[in-house]
Structure 1
Amino acid sequence: MTRAARTPSPVLGLRANAAQFTLLVAVNALVGGMVGQQQTVLPLLATEEFGLTGFTFIFTYVAAFGVTKAVANYFAGTLSDRHGRKPVLLAGWLFAVPVPLMLILAPNWGWVIAANVLLGINQGLTWSTTVVMKIDLVGPRQRGLAMGLNEAAGYGAVAASSLVAGYLAGHYGLRPAPFLLGLSYTALALLLSGVFIRETAGHARLESQKHSPRADGMHDHLHQDLDNRQILIQTSLREPALSSASLAGLVNNLNFGLSWGLFPLLFATAGLPVEQVGLLFALYPGVWGAGQLVTGALSDRIGRKHLIAAGMGLQAAALAVIAASGSFAGWALGTVLLGAGTAMVYPTLLAVVGDVAHPAWRGRAVGVYRVWRDLGYAVGAVLGGIIADWLGLHAAVWAAAVLSAATAGIVAARMYETLAPRST
């Protein structure tokens, strides 16, 4: 039997690719779990084992992670368009192998920063690639649903791993128990990615062959043959929907980066035990993850723009609640609202990029968008640390609330609706 006979021709659609799509969802859950294993634990490790006191210095590991992940996102998009998706996915998981061991054995904070550099490379290569692969498989009709499922798996795993890591840290100590999760995640992901996941670049080529301009004339200025520089300029600055999505993504992850480094310390000011700190931190990505199961599909029906603007506005309100509170109940309400606002935004922004970018340069557009989005980790960590050092933890949260509200207004004013009108 010939190779052509053994290899089925690609078909677009979620149902037609259900098995591969499900495997990619599982792999992205493992990607999220790698972040969740450390989020509750590392700020406490910084203060209790390494004796760090300056907020800006503590947040350096978040900044290192964010910058590295942003750069890795760009290369993930470029390499996946050039060499295929699966090799990039596998390479990303190889970078994850030493991370849990470095965190377990770290004799000083420099090891933690170095581990987060490797984790940033892992997250940029693997998460970006699973996003592109899912968009490849489903085609144009169900992008919102696909991104909702993808992000729900990833951030649901962040929440679950944060909760489990907090429990393990409370009962067995900050090291090594929480980081054993990461070792198991990496082993399973390498098995799934290496043996069971198949290349999806052929699906992108199929969609490119079938691609036709929108009836309303949107995107006519974006051609198939854009080079890397043009893609960078369009996604970052010039194209209204793509550049608005990049801004909203940056501010969204600014909030996440700030919460990652700051929330456990803020919650600890009320004398909460580690388990309750872990629960509060898990509520945010937990609601975020579950909510995307609804919001991604909803954006396929009602459109992208209004969900994004309203979601950024809700994040601003949630951060104000957190900043004004000083107890478990107030913080729980704020983190739930923050998760809901993020769920409205996160998969919808990726769907916008999928709507606008041509299949021939989709991977690179997703990579550029994720560069800006994940720089938000570093901006949030550094800005939050500086403001917290100068004015206190609550002031840093208020600053993030103001930025989120401003972003909601910019999206409402500048972004157009990217969901193509349904044919009648």
Structure 2
Amino acid sequence: MLGQERTVLPLLATDVFGLDSYTAALTYILAFGLAKAFTNYLAGTWSERYGRKPVLVAGWLVAVPVPMLLIWAPDWWIVVGANVLLGISQGLTWSTTVIMKIDLVGPSRRGLAMGLNESAGYLALAVTALITGEIAANAGLRPEPFLVGIAYAALGLGLSTLAVRETRGHADHEASTQAQTGDQPSDLTDRQVFTQTSFREPALSSASQAGLVNNLNDGLAWGLFPVLFISAGLSLGPTGLLVALYPAVWGLGQLASGALSDRWGRKHLITAGMLVQAAALAAIAATDTLTAWALASIALGAGTAMVYPTLLASIGDVAHPSWRARAVGVYRLWRDLGFAVGALLTGVLADAFGIREAIWAIAGLTAGSGLLVAVRMYETHPRQGRQ
């Protein structure tokens, strides 16, 4: 559902709706990020209160009108409204699949489970970005590229309703068998969970800020990379390939990085991944050829793969099972606020200084985030211990 927008929507903003301001053109990412971030928080709370499956099915129901709105939209604000619905849908569905997989696996395989979950999502995003880019190159920006989204919504709703089973009982069982510790008590209120995950607990809060910066990068890539590549003279076909390459490597890489974090630990993989992302962004800002951009996109995908499932696994390591779903919701609140912050910050910077200068600035911010993890975060994996 998200992949259908990656190649087409930035070009729709400029070519169809005539938006000449980067800040205005990126409003759909801002709307998506805000809606998804706050729905993530609610998804964690609701999945503990009502169960995982009802929240998942509700998320797919919200997704159904999105591709039709994108096809029909006579005004840019309809596109923005469709992305509010998409953000709500993503917050409910993706948060719940993360929580369900954490329910189903023990601590020794938590990284692997997160790698599988995130890999499935981002490989689908990459394939769809490539497909819709090819469709747009041959049939135009609307309506054909968004027809695949209608099929995805039907499949997601059908599978979630008919095939998925409730997993909350697994978390309840784990909570009943896990002894309460002084560091992570089992009886936290919603406010205490938010404070612990956001600010107080070193590993949880370090993961939250790194997640925000990681998705800030993704908001930048989503909104500005297609415009940069087209402005440099690339056609829609190569642009779609570049746009798909980054999430494809991201998706495939998570199959390995999630499992490696179970073996090597979380902290150093997160630190290294943030620094690799910073270097890749700097390379995209500094170069202007298809080959150089392709190599940098591969590096950006690899760095993101090192970070993405590992951050989620670290939340699962630290949070007590009785409030783990809420902690995942708070973490994903901060992480997906990165889309909104990225859209707003990079749009303002690009309007004021240019696209390349905006990318340089975000590269520096990403490097700083990685160094903060290196200084503040401790190792969370049970077999590695605190380091």
TM bucket, shorter chain: over 0.9
1:367 paired to 2:332: no
Residues 84-99 of structure 1 aligned to structure 2 (within 5 Å): 84-99=51-66
RMSD, matched Cα = 1.0
Give distance in 2, aligned partners of 1:155 and 1:65: 17
Give distance in 1, aligned partners of 2:271 and 2:353: 29
Give distance in 2, aligned partners of 1:160 and 1:166: 10
Give distance in 2, aligned partners of 1:71 and 1:402: 27
Residues 149-164 of structure 1 aligned to structure 2 (within 5 Å): 149-164=116-131
Kindly indicate whether the alpha-carbon contact (under 8 Å) linking 2:203 and 2:380 is maintained by their aligned counterparts in 1.
yes
Partner of 1:302: 264
Counterpart of 2:314 (choices 352, 357, 360) is: 352
Counterpart of 2:78 (choices 94, 104, 111) is: 111
Give distance in 2, aligned partners of 1:140 and 1:209: 15
Partner of 2:102: 135
1:279 paired to 2:241: yes
Cα deviation for residue 269 of structure 1 reads: 1.4
1:234 paired to 2:196: yes
Counterpart of 1:328 (choices 290, 295, 300) is: 290
Aligned length: 385
Give distance in 1, aligned partners of 2:69 and 2:231: 29
Give distance in 2, aligned partners of 1:234 and 1:79: 19
User: Which of structure 1's runs of 4+ aligned residues deviate more than 3 A?
Assistant: none
Cα deviation for residue 169 of structure 1 reads: 0.5
SS in 2 for 1:134: helix
AA aligned to 2:267 is: K
Deviations 1:164-223 (A, max 9, x none): 01011111111111111110001011111101100000010111122136xxxxx63211
How many percent identity over aligned positions?
Answer: 63
Cα deviation for residue 139 of structure 1 reads: 2.1
Cα deviation for residue 144 of structure 1 reads: 0.2
Cα deviation for residue 109 of structure 1 reads: 0.2
AA aligned to 2:136 is: A
Give distance in 2, aligned partners of 1:96 and 1:386: 30
Partner of 1:204: 171
Give distance in 2, aligned partners of 1:395 and 1:257: 16
SS in 1 for 2:108: coil
SS in 2 for 1:359: coil
Partner of 2:354: 392
Cα deviation for residue 406 of structure 1 reads: 0.3
Kindly indicate whether the alpha-carbon contact (under 8 Å) linking 2:107 and 2:382 is maintained by their aligned counterparts in 1.
no
Deviations 1:28-54 (A, max 9, x none): xxxxxx000111000111111111110
> Unaligned 5+ residue runs, structure 1?
1-33, 214-218
Give distance in 1, aligned partners of 2:18 and 2:84: 22
Give distance in 2, aligned partners of 1:284 and 1:211: 40
Kindly indicate whether the alpha-carbon contact (under 8 Å) linking 2:265 and 2:384 is maintained by their aligned counterparts in 1.
no
Give distance in 1, aligned partners of 2:209 and 2:143: 38
Give distance in 2, aligned partners of 1:50 and 1:186: 26
Residues 4-403 of structure 1 aligned to structure 2 (within 5 Å): 34-212=1-179, 220-403=182-365
Give distance in 1, aligned partners of 2:196 and 2:61: 32
Could you tell me the TM-score, scaled by structure 2's length?
Answer: 0.98
AA aligned to 1:367 is: G
AA aligned to 1:326 is: D
Give distance in 2, aligned partners of 1:230 and 1:240: 14
Give distance in 1, aligned partners of 2:321 and 2:236: 46
Give distance in 2, aligned partners of 1:139 and 1:272: 47
Give distance in 1, aligned partners of 2:279 and 2:94: 29
Cα deviation for residue 422 of structure 1 reads: 6.6
Give distance in 1, aligned partners of 2:325 and 2:48: 6
Give distance in 2, aligned partners of 1:238 and 1:275: 47
Give distance in 2, aligned partners of 1:422 and 1:110: 49
Give distance in 1, aligned partners of 2:272 and 2:244: 23
Give distance in 2, aligned partners of 1:162 and 1:220: 47
Give distance in 2, aligned partners of 1:50 and 1:100: 17
Could you tell me the TM-score, scaled by structure 1's length?
Answer: 0.90
Give distance in 2, aligned partners of 1:400 and 1:335: 15
SS in 2 for 1:52: coil
Cα deviation for residue 421 of structure 1 reads: 2.4
